[in-house]
Structure 1
Amino acid sequence: MLLRRLALHLVLLFGVVFSLFPFYWMVVMATNMTSDIYRYPPKLTFGSELATNIAHVFEKIPFFAAMANTAVVAVATTALVLFFDSLAAFSFAKFDFPGRRVLFGLLLGMFMLPAQLALIPQFVVMVKLGWAGQLQALIVPAAANAFGIFWMRQYISRAVPDELLDAARLDGCGFLRQYWHVALPAVRPGLSFLGIYTFIAAWNDYVWPLIVLVDPDRLTLQVALSQLNRSYGQDYSMVMAGALLAVVPLVVVFVLFARGFIADAVKGAVRG
Protein backbone atom coordinates (compact mmCIF):
# COMPACT_ATOMS: atom_id res chain seq x y z
CA MET A 1 0.00 0.00 0.00
CA LEU A 2 2.82 2.40 0.86
CA LEU A 3 4.64 1.66 -2.40
CA ARG A 4 1.44 2.16 -4.37
CA ARG A 5 0.81 5.56 -2.75
CA LEU A 6 4.44 6.55 -3.33
CA ALA A 7 4.22 5.55 -6.99
CA LEU A 8 0.95 7.49 -7.36
CA HIS A 9 2.48 10.62 -5.85
CA LEU A 10 5.51 10.32 -8.10
CA VAL A 11 3.29 10.04 -11.16
CA LEU A 12 1.28 13.07 -10.04
CA LEU A 13 4.47 15.03 -9.37
CA PHE A 14 5.76 14.16 -12.84
CA GLY A 15 2.46 15.28 -14.34
CA VAL A 16 2.63 18.62 -12.51
CA VAL A 17 6.22 19.26 -13.61
CA PHE A 18 5.42 18.22 -17.18
CA SER A 19 2.41 20.56 -17.26
CA LEU A 20 4.21 23.56 -15.75
CA PHE A 21 7.39 23.30 -17.82
CA PRO A 22 5.99 25.15 -20.91
CA PHE A 23 5.02 28.08 -18.68
CA TYR A 24 8.43 27.98 -16.99
CA TRP A 25 10.16 27.93 -20.39
CA MET A 26 8.06 30.90 -21.53
CA VAL A 27 9.23 32.89 -18.47
CA VAL A 28 12.85 31.86 -19.14
CA MET A 29 12.59 33.02 -22.75
CA ALA A 30 10.90 36.28 -21.74
CA THR A 31 13.64 37.15 -19.24
CA ASN A 32 16.59 36.41 -21.54
CA MET A 33 17.83 37.55 -24.92
CA THR A 34 17.02 35.59 -28.05
CA SER A 35 20.72 34.76 -28.44
CA ASP A 36 20.67 33.05 -25.04
CA ILE A 37 17.91 30.72 -26.22
CA TYR A 38 19.99 29.51 -29.18
CA ARG A 39 22.96 28.61 -27.04
CA TYR A 40 23.91 24.98 -26.60
CA PRO A 41 23.10 23.80 -24.07
CA PRO A 42 20.16 26.24 -23.82
CA LYS A 43 19.95 28.53 -20.83
CA LEU A 44 17.36 27.24 -18.35
CA THR A 45 17.60 29.96 -15.70
CA PHE A 46 15.87 33.32 -15.47
CA GLY A 47 17.64 36.35 -16.91
CA SER A 48 17.46 40.09 -16.35
CA GLU A 49 16.07 41.25 -19.71
CA LEU A 50 12.34 41.12 -18.90
CA ALA A 51 11.94 44.90 -18.63
CA THR A 52 13.75 45.43 -21.95
CA ASN A 53 11.65 42.82 -23.74
CA ILE A 54 8.42 44.26 -22.32
CA ALA A 55 9.46 47.75 -23.43
CA HIS A 56 9.98 46.39 -26.96
CA VAL A 57 6.48 44.88 -26.89
CA PHE A 58 4.97 48.24 -25.95
CA GLU A 59 6.89 49.90 -28.78
CA LYS A 60 5.81 47.48 -31.49
CA ILE A 61 2.09 47.00 -30.82
CA PRO A 62 -0.71 48.96 -29.06
CA PHE A 63 -0.65 46.48 -26.18
CA PHE A 64 -2.89 48.24 -23.66
CA ALA A 65 -5.52 49.16 -26.26
CA ALA A 66 -5.61 45.55 -27.43
CA MET A 67 -5.83 44.32 -23.84
CA ALA A 68 -8.71 46.70 -23.14
CA ASN A 69 -10.58 45.42 -26.21
CA THR A 70 -9.98 41.84 -25.13
CA ALA A 71 -11.13 42.55 -21.58
CA VAL A 72 -14.37 44.11 -22.84
CA VAL A 73 -15.04 41.12 -25.09
CA ALA A 74 -14.13 38.51 -22.47
CA VAL A 75 -16.13 40.10 -19.63
CA ALA A 76 -19.21 40.79 -21.76
CA THR A 77 -19.12 37.33 -23.32
CA THR A 78 -18.74 35.64 -19.95
CA ALA A 79 -21.64 37.57 -18.42
CA LEU A 80 -23.95 36.81 -21.35
CA VAL A 81 -23.00 33.14 -21.47
CA LEU A 82 -23.56 32.69 -17.74
CA PHE A 83 -27.03 34.25 -18.01
CA PHE A 84 -28.35 32.75 -21.24
CA ASP A 85 -26.80 29.29 -20.84
CA SER A 86 -27.97 28.87 -17.26
CA LEU A 87 -31.45 30.16 -18.15
CA ALA A 88 -31.78 27.75 -21.08
CA ALA A 89 -30.31 24.91 -19.03
CA PHE A 90 -32.80 25.55 -16.23
CA SER A 91 -35.64 25.26 -18.73
CA PHE A 92 -34.28 22.03 -20.19
CA ALA A 93 -33.56 20.48 -16.80
CA LYS A 94 -36.66 21.34 -14.78
CA PHE A 95 -39.54 22.12 -17.14
CA ASP A 96 -41.44 19.92 -19.55
CA PHE A 97 -42.51 21.74 -22.71
CA PRO A 98 -43.39 20.64 -26.25
CA GLY A 99 -40.32 19.78 -28.34
CA ARG A 100 -37.92 19.72 -25.40
CA ARG A 101 -36.23 16.46 -26.43
CA VAL A 102 -36.01 17.50 -30.07
CA LEU A 103 -34.48 20.85 -29.18
CA PHE A 104 -32.01 19.25 -26.78
CA GLY A 105 -31.05 16.73 -29.46
CA LEU A 106 -30.40 19.57 -31.90
CA LEU A 107 -28.33 21.26 -29.21
CA LEU A 108 -26.18 18.15 -28.81
CA GLY A 109 -25.79 18.00 -32.58
CA MET A 110 -24.53 21.59 -32.63
CA PHE A 111 -22.17 20.70 -29.78
CA MET A 112 -20.52 18.05 -31.96
CA LEU A 113 -20.10 20.26 -35.04
CA PRO A 114 -16.71 22.02 -35.47
CA ALA A 115 -16.92 25.77 -34.93
CA GLN A 116 -14.97 26.42 -38.14
CA LEU A 117 -18.03 25.48 -40.21
CA ALA A 118 -19.80 28.64 -39.08
CA LEU A 119 -16.99 31.10 -39.82
CA ILE A 120 -18.00 32.07 -43.37
CA PRO A 121 -21.78 32.41 -42.83
CA GLN A 122 -21.12 34.16 -39.54
CA PHE A 123 -18.84 36.66 -41.27
CA VAL A 124 -21.47 37.29 -43.96
CA VAL A 125 -24.06 38.00 -41.26
CA MET A 126 -21.72 40.42 -39.48
CA VAL A 127 -21.09 42.28 -42.76
CA LYS A 128 -24.83 42.51 -43.45
CA LEU A 129 -25.39 43.94 -39.97
CA GLY A 130 -22.54 46.41 -40.37
CA TRP A 131 -20.68 44.91 -37.41
CA ALA A 132 -17.52 43.83 -39.21
CA GLY A 133 -14.59 45.42 -37.40
CA GLN A 134 -16.67 46.11 -34.26
CA LEU A 135 -16.33 44.35 -30.90
CA GLN A 136 -20.00 43.33 -30.88
CA ALA A 137 -19.14 40.99 -33.75
CA LEU A 138 -17.16 39.00 -31.17
CA ILE A 139 -19.59 39.32 -28.26
CA VAL A 140 -23.03 38.65 -29.74
CA PRO A 141 -22.26 35.39 -31.63
CA ALA A 142 -20.65 34.01 -28.46
CA ALA A 143 -23.46 35.06 -26.10
CA ALA A 144 -24.62 31.44 -25.77
CA ASN A 145 -23.08 28.11 -26.66
CA ALA A 146 -24.07 24.46 -26.73
CA PHE A 147 -21.39 23.32 -24.29
CA GLY A 148 -22.46 25.79 -21.61
CA ILE A 149 -26.13 24.82 -21.90
CA PHE A 150 -25.30 21.12 -21.78
CA TRP A 151 -22.97 21.55 -18.81
CA MET A 152 -25.39 23.64 -16.79
CA ARG A 153 -28.33 21.38 -17.67
CA GLN A 154 -26.50 18.37 -16.26
CA TYR A 155 -25.45 20.35 -13.19
CA ILE A 156 -28.90 21.78 -12.49
CA SER A 157 -30.50 18.35 -12.86
CA ARG A 158 -28.45 17.10 -9.90
CA ALA A 159 -28.09 20.24 -7.77
CA VAL A 160 -31.64 21.61 -7.76
CA PRO A 161 -34.22 19.21 -6.21
CA ASP A 162 -37.67 19.17 -7.77
CA GLU A 163 -39.18 19.42 -4.29
CA LEU A 164 -37.47 22.77 -3.77
CA LEU A 165 -39.03 24.14 -6.95
CA ASP A 166 -42.43 22.74 -5.98
CA ALA A 167 -42.20 24.57 -2.67
CA ALA A 168 -41.26 27.78 -4.51
CA ARG A 169 -44.30 27.43 -6.79
CA LEU A 170 -46.55 26.99 -3.77
CA ASP A 171 -45.14 30.25 -2.43
CA GLY A 172 -46.12 31.97 -5.66
CA CYS A 173 -42.73 32.10 -7.41
CA GLY A 174 -42.88 32.35 -11.17
CA PHE A 175 -40.33 31.03 -13.64
CA LEU A 176 -37.84 33.88 -13.33
CA ARG A 177 -38.02 33.99 -9.53
CA GLN A 178 -37.46 30.23 -9.37
CA TYR A 179 -34.46 30.66 -11.65
CA TRP A 180 -32.97 33.66 -9.83
CA HIS A 181 -33.72 32.91 -6.18
CA VAL A 182 -33.78 29.10 -6.10
CA ALA A 183 -31.68 27.64 -8.91
CA LEU A 184 -28.77 30.09 -9.21
CA PRO A 185 -27.67 29.96 -5.53
CA ALA A 186 -27.55 26.16 -5.76
CA VAL A 187 -25.42 26.02 -8.93
CA ARG A 188 -22.71 28.58 -8.15
CA PRO A 189 -19.88 26.01 -8.47
CA GLY A 190 -21.09 25.09 -11.95
CA LEU A 191 -21.36 28.76 -12.89
CA SER A 192 -17.85 29.39 -11.59
CA PHE A 193 -16.43 26.64 -13.79
CA LEU A 194 -18.38 27.89 -16.82
CA GLY A 195 -17.21 31.43 -16.11
CA ILE A 196 -13.56 30.34 -16.01
CA TYR A 197 -13.94 28.29 -19.18
CA THR A 198 -15.75 31.04 -21.09
CA PHE A 199 -13.42 33.85 -20.02
CA ILE A 200 -10.30 31.91 -20.99
CA ALA A 201 -11.81 30.86 -24.33
CA ALA A 202 -12.85 34.45 -25.13
CA TRP A 203 -9.49 35.86 -24.03
CA ASN A 204 -7.52 33.37 -26.12
CA ASP A 205 -9.77 33.44 -29.20
CA TYR A 206 -7.69 34.10 -32.29
CA VAL A 207 -9.24 32.84 -35.54
CA TRP A 208 -12.60 34.66 -35.41
CA PRO A 209 -11.14 38.02 -34.26
CA LEU A 210 -8.49 37.73 -36.98
CA ILE A 211 -11.23 37.34 -39.60
CA VAL A 212 -13.83 39.87 -38.46
CA LEU A 213 -11.76 42.68 -36.89
CA VAL A 214 -10.81 44.54 -40.04
CA ASP A 215 -10.17 47.77 -38.11
CA PRO A 216 -6.51 47.84 -36.93
CA ASP A 217 -7.49 50.06 -33.99
CA ARG A 218 -9.82 47.41 -32.58
CA LEU A 219 -7.55 44.39 -32.49
CA THR A 220 -7.76 41.96 -29.61
CA LEU A 221 -4.67 40.92 -27.71
CA GLN A 222 -4.08 37.59 -29.44
CA VAL A 223 -4.27 39.16 -32.89
CA ALA A 224 -1.94 41.98 -31.82
CA LEU A 225 0.55 39.48 -30.40
CA SER A 226 0.47 37.52 -33.66
CA GLN A 227 1.82 40.65 -35.36
CA LEU A 228 4.89 40.35 -33.16
CA ASN A 229 5.34 36.79 -34.30
CA ARG A 230 4.89 37.65 -37.98
CA SER A 231 6.84 40.90 -38.13
CA TYR A 232 9.49 40.28 -35.48
CA GLY A 233 9.59 36.48 -35.47
CA GLN A 234 13.32 36.29 -34.87
CA ASP A 235 13.04 38.14 -31.57
CA TYR A 236 11.47 35.27 -29.66
CA SER A 237 12.22 36.83 -26.30
CA MET A 238 10.05 39.83 -27.15
CA VAL A 239 7.27 37.53 -28.40
CA MET A 240 7.42 35.48 -25.20
CA ALA A 241 7.36 38.64 -23.07
CA GLY A 242 4.14 39.66 -24.80
CA ALA A 243 2.69 36.19 -24.26
CA LEU A 244 3.64 36.34 -20.59
CA LEU A 245 1.84 39.66 -20.17
CA ALA A 246 -1.24 38.18 -21.84
CA VAL A 247 -1.25 35.19 -19.48
CA VAL A 248 -1.16 37.21 -16.23
CA PRO A 249 -4.87 38.28 -16.31
CA LEU A 250 -5.88 34.66 -16.99
CA VAL A 251 -3.99 33.48 -13.93
CA VAL A 252 -5.66 36.14 -11.78
CA VAL A 253 -9.15 35.25 -13.05
CA PHE A 254 -8.50 31.54 -12.57
CA VAL A 255 -7.32 32.02 -8.99
CA LEU A 256 -10.32 34.20 -8.09
CA PHE A 257 -12.97 32.02 -9.74
CA ALA A 258 -11.37 28.71 -8.75
CA ARG A 259 -11.32 29.76 -5.10
CA GLY A 260 -15.05 30.39 -5.18
CA PHE A 261 -15.65 27.19 -7.15
CA ILE A 262 -13.75 25.05 -4.64
CA ALA A 263 -15.30 26.77 -1.61
CA ASP A 264 -18.85 26.34 -2.93
CA ALA A 265 -18.20 22.73 -3.95
CA VAL A 266 -16.82 21.84 -0.51
CA LYS A 267 -19.69 23.66 1.20
CA GLY A 268 -22.19 21.70 -0.87
CA ALA A 269 -20.44 18.42 -0.14
CA VAL A 270 -20.42 19.07 3.61
CA ARG A 271 -24.07 20.13 3.53
CA GLY A 272 -25.02 17.05 1.56
Structure 2
Amino acid sequence: MSAPATERTERPAAGAARPTDRRTGPRRRSGIPGRLALYGTLTVLALVFVAPMVWAVSGSFKPRGDIFEYPPKLLPDPATLDNFRSLLSDQPFWHWFAVSVVTAGLGTAVAVFVCAMAGFAFAKYRFAGKRLLFNVMFSSLSVPFAVIVVPLFILVVKSGLSNPWFALTVPWVAPAFGIFMMQQYIIQSIPDEIIEAARIDGAGEFGIFLRVVLPLLRPSLGALAVWQFLQSYNSFMWPLVLISDVDHYTLPLGLNILFRAEQRQFDLVLPGAVLASVPTILVFLLLRKQLLEGLSTGAVKG
Protein backbone atom coordinates (compact mmCIF):
# COMPACT_ATOMS: atom_id res chain seq x y z
CA MET A 1 0.00 0.00 0.00
CA SER A 2 1.36 3.37 -0.94
CA ALA A 3 1.82 6.03 1.68
CA PRO A 4 -0.71 8.89 1.75
CA ALA A 5 0.11 11.90 -0.34
CA THR A 6 0.26 14.10 2.74
CA GLU A 7 3.08 12.04 4.19
CA ARG A 8 5.24 12.09 1.06
CA THR A 9 8.30 14.29 1.14
CA GLU A 10 9.91 15.21 -2.11
CA ARG A 11 13.65 15.71 -2.07
CA PRO A 12 15.04 18.46 -4.24
CA ALA A 13 16.84 17.24 -7.31
CA ALA A 14 20.61 17.31 -7.35
CA GLY A 15 21.94 20.67 -8.40
CA ALA A 16 18.66 22.44 -7.70
CA ALA A 17 19.03 25.84 -6.08
CA ARG A 18 17.94 26.09 -2.47
CA PRO A 19 15.75 28.96 -1.29
CA THR A 20 18.56 30.29 0.89
CA ASP A 21 20.87 30.55 -2.10
CA ARG A 22 18.55 33.07 -3.74
CA ARG A 23 18.99 35.46 -0.82
CA THR A 24 22.77 35.22 -0.73
CA GLY A 25 23.30 37.74 -3.51
CA PRO A 26 21.01 40.45 -2.08
CA ARG A 27 22.52 39.97 1.38
CA ARG A 28 26.01 40.47 0.06
CA ARG A 29 24.96 43.49 -1.96
CA SER A 30 23.19 45.01 1.04
CA GLY A 31 26.39 44.71 3.12
CA ILE A 32 28.52 46.68 0.65
CA PRO A 33 27.31 50.16 1.72
CA GLY A 34 27.96 49.31 5.37
CA ARG A 35 31.50 48.19 4.59
CA LEU A 36 32.16 51.29 2.52
CA ALA A 37 30.93 53.47 5.38
CA LEU A 38 33.14 51.57 7.84
CA TYR A 39 36.24 51.82 5.67
CA GLY A 40 35.54 55.49 5.01
CA THR A 41 35.23 56.21 8.73
CA LEU A 42 38.43 54.32 9.52
CA THR A 43 40.26 56.16 6.75
CA VAL A 44 39.16 59.54 8.11
CA LEU A 45 40.19 58.58 11.64
CA ALA A 46 43.58 57.34 10.41
CA LEU A 47 44.16 60.63 8.62
CA VAL A 48 43.19 62.58 11.75
CA PHE A 49 45.68 60.65 13.89
CA VAL A 50 48.49 60.56 11.33
CA ALA A 51 48.22 64.18 10.13
CA PRO A 52 49.90 65.77 13.22
CA MET A 53 52.86 63.41 12.96
CA VAL A 54 53.22 64.04 9.23
CA TRP A 55 53.08 67.79 9.84
CA ALA A 56 55.72 67.52 12.61
CA VAL A 57 58.09 65.50 10.41
CA SER A 58 57.61 67.90 7.51
CA GLY A 59 58.00 71.00 9.69
CA SER A 60 61.16 69.68 11.33
CA PHE A 61 62.94 70.05 7.96
CA LYS A 62 61.61 73.56 7.23
CA PRO A 63 63.09 76.92 8.19
CA ARG A 64 61.21 78.69 10.96
CA GLY A 65 59.55 81.10 8.56
CA ASP A 66 58.11 78.29 6.41
CA ILE A 67 56.57 76.19 9.21
CA PHE A 68 53.29 78.14 9.35
CA GLU A 69 53.11 79.18 5.72
CA TYR A 70 49.69 79.15 4.08
CA PRO A 71 48.69 77.18 2.18
CA PRO A 72 50.82 74.56 3.93
CA LYS A 73 53.20 72.42 1.90
CA LEU A 74 53.58 68.75 2.69
CA LEU A 75 57.13 68.56 1.35
CA PRO A 76 59.61 71.14 2.64
CA ASP A 77 61.06 73.37 -0.05
CA PRO A 78 63.89 73.88 0.63
CA ALA A 79 64.59 71.04 3.08
CA THR A 80 67.20 71.76 5.74
CA LEU A 81 68.89 69.95 8.61
CA ASP A 82 69.76 73.14 10.46
CA ASN A 83 66.92 72.57 12.93
CA PHE A 84 68.38 69.23 14.01
CA ARG A 85 71.91 70.67 14.16
CA SER A 86 70.78 73.55 16.36
CA LEU A 87 68.81 71.26 18.64
CA LEU A 88 71.62 68.76 19.14
CA SER A 89 74.44 71.30 19.45
CA ASP A 90 72.87 74.25 21.29
CA GLN A 91 70.51 72.38 23.64
CA PRO A 92 71.22 69.52 26.12
CA PHE A 93 68.89 67.29 24.13
CA TRP A 94 70.92 64.10 24.59
CA HIS A 95 70.88 64.60 28.37
CA TRP A 96 67.11 64.89 28.30
CA PHE A 97 66.88 61.88 26.00
CA ALA A 98 69.12 59.73 28.21
CA VAL A 99 67.24 60.62 31.41
CA SER A 100 63.86 59.82 29.85
CA VAL A 101 64.88 56.55 28.19
CA VAL A 102 66.90 55.17 31.13
CA THR A 103 64.38 56.04 33.84
CA ALA A 104 61.44 54.83 31.75
CA GLY A 105 63.27 51.60 30.89
CA LEU A 106 64.27 50.88 34.50
CA GLY A 107 60.83 51.78 35.81
CA THR A 108 59.18 49.53 33.23
CA ALA A 109 61.42 46.55 33.97
CA VAL A 110 60.88 46.84 37.74
CA ALA A 111 57.15 47.48 37.39
CA VAL A 112 56.57 44.49 35.11
CA PHE A 113 58.34 42.14 37.54
CA VAL A 114 56.69 43.58 40.67
CA CYS A 115 53.21 43.59 39.11
CA ALA A 116 53.59 40.01 37.93
CA MET A 117 54.73 38.86 41.37
CA ALA A 118 51.97 40.78 43.20
CA GLY A 119 49.34 39.60 40.72
CA PHE A 120 50.48 36.00 41.23
CA ALA A 121 50.15 36.39 45.00
CA PHE A 122 46.64 37.85 44.77
CA ALA A 123 45.54 35.22 42.24
CA LYS A 124 46.91 32.00 43.72
CA TYR A 125 47.50 32.48 47.46
CA ARG A 126 45.23 32.78 50.45
CA PHE A 127 46.37 34.96 53.35
CA ALA A 128 44.85 37.11 56.06
CA GLY A 129 43.68 40.51 54.85
CA LYS A 130 43.93 39.57 51.18
CA ARG A 131 40.54 41.02 50.21
CA LEU A 132 41.10 44.21 52.20
CA LEU A 133 44.57 44.73 50.78
CA PHE A 134 43.35 44.13 47.24
CA ASN A 135 40.44 46.55 47.67
CA VAL A 136 42.75 49.25 49.01
CA MET A 137 45.16 48.69 46.13
CA PHE A 138 42.40 48.70 43.53
CA SER A 139 40.69 51.78 44.98
CA SER A 140 43.93 53.75 44.48
CA LEU A 141 43.08 53.81 40.77
CA SER A 142 40.45 56.43 41.55
CA VAL A 143 42.98 58.80 43.17
CA PRO A 144 44.48 61.31 40.69
CA PHE A 145 48.25 61.51 40.71
CA ALA A 146 48.03 65.28 41.31
CA VAL A 147 46.55 64.56 44.76
CA ILE A 148 49.54 62.53 45.97
CA VAL A 149 52.34 64.35 44.14
CA VAL A 150 53.14 66.71 47.04
CA PRO A 151 53.10 64.02 49.80
CA LEU A 152 55.18 61.78 47.53
CA PHE A 153 57.69 64.58 46.95
CA ILE A 154 58.02 65.22 50.70
CA LEU A 155 58.45 61.50 51.37
CA VAL A 156 61.16 61.15 48.74
CA VAL A 157 63.07 64.23 49.89
CA LYS A 158 62.86 63.38 53.62
CA SER A 159 64.06 59.86 52.88
CA GLY A 160 67.14 61.17 51.09
CA LEU A 161 66.12 59.48 47.84
CA SER A 162 65.79 62.59 45.70
CA ASN A 163 68.47 61.52 43.22
CA PRO A 164 66.77 62.10 39.84
CA TRP A 165 67.78 58.74 38.40
CA PHE A 166 66.13 56.97 41.34
CA ALA A 167 63.26 59.29 42.19
CA LEU A 168 61.92 59.39 38.64
CA THR A 169 61.23 55.64 38.76
CA VAL A 170 59.58 55.52 42.21
CA PRO A 171 55.97 56.36 41.25
CA TRP A 172 55.92 53.71 38.51
CA VAL A 173 57.32 50.59 40.18
CA ALA A 174 54.01 49.15 41.43
CA PRO A 175 51.03 50.59 39.54
CA ALA A 176 47.66 49.35 40.72
CA PHE A 177 46.46 48.87 37.15
CA GLY A 178 49.38 46.57 36.38
CA ILE A 179 48.79 44.45 39.49
CA PHE A 180 45.11 44.12 38.68
CA MET A 181 45.88 43.25 35.05
CA MET A 182 48.34 40.52 36.05
CA GLN A 183 45.99 39.12 38.68
CA GLN A 184 43.13 38.80 36.18
CA TYR A 185 45.34 37.26 33.50
CA ILE A 186 46.80 34.68 35.90
CA ILE A 187 43.34 33.67 37.12
CA GLN A 188 42.11 33.16 33.55
CA SER A 189 45.18 31.60 31.94
CA ILE A 190 47.11 29.61 34.56
CA PRO A 191 45.27 26.65 36.13
CA ASP A 192 46.03 25.56 39.66
CA GLU A 193 47.00 22.08 38.42
CA ILE A 194 50.18 23.43 36.82
CA ILE A 195 51.28 25.03 40.08
CA GLU A 196 50.42 21.93 42.12
CA ALA A 197 52.40 19.74 39.70
CA ALA A 198 55.43 22.00 40.12
CA ARG A 199 55.12 21.77 43.91
CA ILE A 200 54.95 17.99 43.72
CA ASP A 201 58.15 18.02 41.68
CA GLY A 202 59.84 19.87 44.54
CA ALA A 203 59.95 23.42 43.16
CA GLY A 204 59.89 26.30 45.64
CA GLU A 205 57.32 29.07 45.51
CA PHE A 206 59.68 31.64 44.01
CA GLY A 207 61.00 29.03 41.60
CA ILE A 208 57.45 28.28 40.50
CA PHE A 209 56.91 31.95 39.80
CA LEU A 210 60.14 32.33 37.82
CA ARG A 211 60.14 29.06 35.88
CA VAL A 212 56.45 28.23 35.48
CA VAL A 213 54.29 31.32 35.84
CA LEU A 214 56.47 34.06 34.38
CA PRO A 215 57.03 32.39 30.97
CA LEU A 216 53.27 31.90 30.59
CA LEU A 217 52.67 35.61 31.19
CA ARG A 218 54.62 36.77 28.14
CA PRO A 219 51.63 38.27 26.24
CA SER A 220 50.32 40.20 29.24
CA LEU A 221 53.85 41.27 30.22
CA GLY A 222 54.37 42.75 26.76
CA ALA A 223 51.10 44.66 26.91
CA LEU A 224 51.90 45.95 30.40
CA ALA A 225 55.43 46.93 29.36
CA VAL A 226 54.13 49.07 26.48
CA TRP A 227 51.59 50.80 28.69
CA GLN A 228 54.06 51.33 31.54
CA PHE A 229 56.84 52.66 29.31
CA LEU A 230 54.49 55.23 27.78
CA GLN A 231 53.27 56.31 31.22
CA SER A 232 56.78 56.88 32.54
CA TYR A 233 58.28 58.25 29.33
CA ASN A 234 55.51 60.85 28.88
CA SER A 235 55.32 61.87 32.54
CA PHE A 236 55.38 65.63 33.00
CA MET A 237 54.08 66.61 36.44
CA TRP A 238 56.38 64.46 38.61
CA PRO A 239 59.64 65.48 36.87
CA LEU A 240 58.47 69.11 36.95
CA VAL A 241 58.08 68.95 40.74
CA LEU A 242 61.22 66.93 41.38
CA ILE A 243 63.93 68.25 39.04
CA SER A 244 65.43 71.73 39.08
CA ASP A 245 68.62 71.12 37.06
CA VAL A 246 68.08 71.67 33.34
CA ASP A 247 70.63 68.98 32.45
CA HIS A 248 68.53 66.40 34.31
CA TYR A 249 65.25 67.37 32.66
CA THR A 250 63.25 64.72 30.87
CA LEU A 251 62.22 65.16 27.26
CA PRO A 252 58.73 66.55 28.05
CA LEU A 253 60.29 69.19 30.32
CA GLY A 254 63.03 70.04 27.85
CA LEU A 255 60.63 70.44 24.94
CA ASN A 256 58.38 72.52 27.15
CA ILE A 257 61.28 74.95 27.75
CA LEU A 258 61.73 75.37 24.02
CA PHE A 259 58.01 75.84 23.51
CA ARG A 260 57.68 78.42 26.28
CA ALA A 261 60.71 80.41 25.13
CA GLU A 262 60.23 84.05 24.25
CA GLN A 263 60.07 83.37 20.52
CA ARG A 264 58.47 79.89 20.76
CA GLN A 265 61.20 77.95 19.02
CA PHE A 266 59.02 75.70 16.87
CA ASP A 267 61.99 75.03 14.62
CA LEU A 268 63.54 73.19 17.60
CA VAL A 269 60.37 71.79 19.14
CA LEU A 270 59.34 69.88 16.00
CA PRO A 271 62.64 68.00 15.46
CA GLY A 272 62.75 67.35 19.20
CA ALA A 273 59.26 65.84 19.08
CA VAL A 274 60.21 63.68 16.09
CA LEU A 275 63.32 62.34 17.83
CA ALA A 276 61.40 61.84 21.08
CA SER A 277 58.89 59.59 19.32
CA VAL A 278 61.58 57.13 18.19
CA PRO A 279 61.83 55.15 21.50
CA THR A 280 58.06 54.74 21.76
CA ILE A 281 57.84 53.50 18.17
CA LEU A 282 60.68 51.03 18.77
CA VAL A 283 59.04 49.73 21.96
CA PHE A 284 55.79 49.15 20.10
CA LEU A 285 57.52 47.40 17.19
CA LEU A 286 59.51 45.14 19.52
CA LEU A 287 56.52 44.21 21.69
CA ARG A 288 53.68 44.41 19.18
CA LYS A 289 53.27 40.61 19.04
CA GLN A 290 52.96 40.29 22.83
CA LEU A 291 50.71 43.35 22.93
CA LEU A 292 48.26 41.96 20.36
CA GLU A 293 48.28 38.52 21.97
CA GLY A 294 47.60 40.02 25.39
CA LEU A 295 44.73 42.15 24.12
CA SER A 296 43.17 39.32 22.11
CA THR A 297 43.46 36.90 25.05
CA GLY A 298 41.75 39.37 27.33
CA ALA A 299 39.02 39.98 24.78
CA VAL A 300 38.30 36.25 24.35
CA LYS A 301 38.54 35.17 27.97
CA GLY A 302 37.24 38.35 29.59
State the TM-score, normalizing by the size of structure 2: 0.82
Alpha-carbon deviation of 1:114? 0.4
- Say whether 1:111 aligns with 2:107: no
Query: Which of 1 and 2 has greater Rg?
Result: 2
Q: Which residue number corresponds to residue 163 of structure 1?
A: 193
Aligned equivalents of 1:191 and 1:124: distance in 2?
32
Aligned equivalents of 1:58 and 1:232: distance in 2?
20
- Say whether 1:51 aligns with 2:81: yes
Would the aligned equivalents of 2:223 and 2:295 in 1 still touch at CA under 8 Å?
A: no
Name the SS for the 1:132 alignment partner: coil
- Say whether 1:42 aligns with 2:37: no
Aligned equivalents of 1:37 and 1:64: distance in 2?
24
- Say whether 1:229 aligns with 2:226: no
- Say whether 1:84 aligns with 2:84: no
Q: 1:100 aligned to 130, 133, 141, which one?
A: 130
Aligned equivalents of 1:47 and 1:60: distance in 2?
24
Alpha-carbon deviation of 1:86? 0.6
The letter of the residue matching 1:159 is S
Structure 2: runs of 5+ lacking an equivalent: 1-30
Aligned residue runs from structure 1 range 1-272, under 5 A: 1-231=31-261, 233-262=263-292
Name the SS for the 1:214 alignment partner: coil
The letter of the residue matching 1:248 is V
RCO higher in structure (CA 8 A, sep ≥6)? 1
Structure 1, 80-89 or 219-228: larger mean CA deviation: 219-228
Would the aligned equivalents of 1:189 and 1:260 in 2 still touch at CA under 8 Å?
A: yes
Name the SS for the 2:174 alignment partner: coil
Name the SS for the 1:92 alignment partner: helix
Structure 1: runs of 5+ lacking an equivalent: none
Alpha-carbon deviation of 1:141? 3.0
Sort the Cα spacing of 1:47 and 1:234 in 2 relative to 1 into closer, same or farther, 3 A: farther
Would the aligned equivalents of 2:223 and 2:290 in 1 still touch at CA under 8 Å?
A: no
The letter of the residue matching 1:82 is V
Alpha-carbon deviation of 1:109? 0.9
Percentage of identical aligned residues: 35
Aligned equivalents of 2:238 and 2:278: distance in 1?
22
Aligned equivalents of 2:76 and 2:218: distance in 1?
40
Aligned equivalents of 2:196 and 2:284: distance in 1?
36
Alpha-carbon deviation of 1:168? 1.5
Sort the Cα spacing of 1:255 and 1:47 in 2 relative to 1 into closer, same or farther, 3 A: farther
Would the aligned equivalents of 2:112 and 2:221 in 1 still touch at CA under 8 Å?
A: yes
Sort the Cα spacing of 1:48 and 1:158 in 2 relative to 1 into closer, same or farther, 3 A: farther
Aligned equivalents of 1:69 and 1:255: distance in 2?
22
Alpha-carbon deviation of 1:175? 1.6
Structure 1, 36-45 or 236-245: larger mean CA deviation: 36-45
Would the aligned equivalents of 2:222 and 2:294 in 1 still touch at CA under 8 Å?
A: no
The letter of the residue matching 1:73 is T
